[in-house]
Amino acid sequence: MDVIVPPEWEHLFIRDTHRSIVKIPDPILRSKAKPVSRVTERHRLLVDNMTNIMKKASGVGIAAPQVGVAERVIIVSPGNKAIALINPVITRSEGEQVGEEGCLSIPGLYGDVKRAFLVEVEAVDKKGNTVTYEMEGFAARVVQHEIDHLDGVMFVDKADPATLHWRDPDAADSDAE
Ligand code: ZN
């Protein structure tokens, strides 16, 4: 789905050193990210950089294409802890949940998305070790949103169109991924 940004929200889409997150309609957000064949120091730096950018933007998750890198690396931070996942794959999913999502690459737009309630995710951590996480509820929502980014899929593609609306992304209840 293509998003038309209302004039009053256009300032949020400027990308500069202060707001370094890639925004629509940058084509990297619609491309398929490449798997990481071997975790190197470059990926550890990428993970640290992504974590810092996400925290600065008060995000709850971020994917490498959102910082301009088309590789399969995501950070999920549904609570206080930030988890870096390289080459994440959903190996099991159960149930469903409907909840509101926003995206750091479409600041100000929110809408309800149906997701699996529980997912098991296999990935590689920044040391190169295979890790498996079982996530449910909000954490499961965030990881599904971020993995979608690696395939060029954005939440607006899956959102119930009737629920899509613009509001101030700096409002306290406005989580974005
Ligand atoms: Zn997003």
27-44: per-residue pLDDT in tens? 999 999 999 999 999 999
Residue 172 is predicted with a pLDDT of 66
| 19: number of Cβ within 10 Å | 16
Q: Which two tokens stand for residue 91?
A: 């190996």
- pLDDT band (50, 70, 90) for residue 12: confident
Report d(CA 104, CA 50) in Å as an integer.
12
Torsion over CA: 13, 113, 61, 125 (sign):
negative
**Active-site residue flag, 71:** no
Ordered domains of the chain (ranges, CATH): 7-166 (3.90.45.10)
Read off the pLDDT of each residue in 146-152 and give the average, rounded to a whole number. Answer: 98
Residue 17 is predicted with a pLDDT of 67
Read off the pLDDT of each residue in 127-148 and give the average, rounded to a whole number. Answer: 97
As residues whose CB is below 5 A from the ion ligand 1, the structure lists 103, 177
89-134: per-residue pLDDT in tens? 999 999 999 999 999 999 999 999 999 999 999 999 999 999 999 9
Helix (H) or strand (E) holding 96: none
Report d(CA 24, CA 89) in Å as an integer.
25
Spacing, Cα 86 to ligand 1 middle (Å): 17
CA 7 remoteness from chain centre: 25
Spacing, Cα 102 to ligand 1 middle (Å): 7
Residue 34 is predicted with a pLDDT of 98
β-strands 109-115, 97-102: how paired?
A: antiparallel
Spacing, Cα 149 to ligand 1 middle (Å): 7
